[in-house]
């Protein structure tokens, strides 16, 4: 498997006749999604994705961000529930982003999203910090299923 700039992720496979060929892998796969958007060297792709999803134009566009290496949500107590973010980033204006790719409907996406977002939000300050230092936190879910059955898909 290799990454080709501008072409996404390609996988080398054998054709029916045995000759090597390359095929484009789908970005819905967690590994591929994280390679395309979740690493520091692919942050330009992530910036473009966020600007497109959020409809940011002109001066409001995200121009720079830092992809966070640790995507594991922290525990405060030993019995606390934790989670692992697909992609976590922070912009220069200190907005936190969690971008999740989910293919299967486990019927817990809304609650899981709220849980992940709240963990990121409370983790943005430490003991003794003023609450005004809490960072704006945005969660974006890219789903391969209809989350709200009573609404039109878009």
137 assigned to some structural domain: yes
pTM: 0.75
110/76 Cα distance (integer angstroms)? 23
Per-residue pLDDT for 13 more than 60?
no
pLDDT, mean of residues 37-42 = 89
Per-residue pLDDT for 113 more than 80?
yes
Confidence at residue 117, expressed as pLDDT on a 0 to 100 scale: 96
Distances (CA, A) of 153 to 29, 61, 81, 143: 21, 26, 31, 11
102 assigned to some structural domain: yes
Closest CA relative to residue 140, chosen from 108, 106, 116, 121 = 116
Residue-range definition of the domain harbouring residue 93: 27-143
Weakest-pLDDT range from 4-18, 24-38, 53-67, 119-133: 4-18
pLDDT, mean of residues 11-31 = 70
58 assigned to some structural domain: yes
**Mean pLDDT over the full length of the chain:** 83
Identify whether the C-beta of residue 10 lies closer than 8 Å to the C-beta of residue 62: no
Count Cα atoms within 13 angstroms, Cβ side, for 130: 2
Domain count, the chain: 1
**Please, is 50 exposed, middle or buried when counting C-beta atoms within 10 Å of its C-beta (0-12, 13-18, 19+)?**
buried
13 assigned to some structural domain: no
DSSP assigned state of 59: G
pLDDT, mean of residues 108-133 = 95
- Identify which has the larger pLDDT, 2 or 92: 92
Identify whether the C-beta of residue 112 lies closer than 8 Å to the C-beta of residue 86: no
84 assigned to some structural domain: yes
18/15 Cα distance (integer angstroms)? 5
Confidence at residue 6, expressed as pLDDT on a 0 to 100 scale: 41
């Amino acid at each position: 498997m290799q990454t080709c700039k501008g072409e996404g992720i390609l996988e080398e496979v054998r054709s029916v006749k045995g000759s090597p060929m390359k095929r484009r892998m789908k970005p819905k796969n967690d590994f591929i999604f994280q390679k395309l958007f979740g690493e520091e060297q692919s942050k330009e792709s992530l910036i473009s994705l966020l600007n497109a999803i959020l409809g940011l134009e002109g001066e409001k566009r995200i121009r720079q961000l830092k992809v966070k290496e640790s995507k594991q949500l922290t525990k405060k107590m030993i019995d606390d529930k934790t989670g692992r973010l697909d992609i976590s980033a922070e912009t220069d204006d200190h907005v936190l982003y969690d971008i999740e790719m989910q293919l299967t409907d486990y019927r817990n996406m809304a609650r899981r999203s709220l849980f992940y977002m709240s963990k990121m939000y409370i983790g943005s300050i430490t003991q003794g910090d003023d609450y005004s230092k809490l960072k704006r936190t945005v969660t974006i879910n890219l789903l391969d299923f209809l989350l709200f059955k009573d609404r039109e898909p878009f």
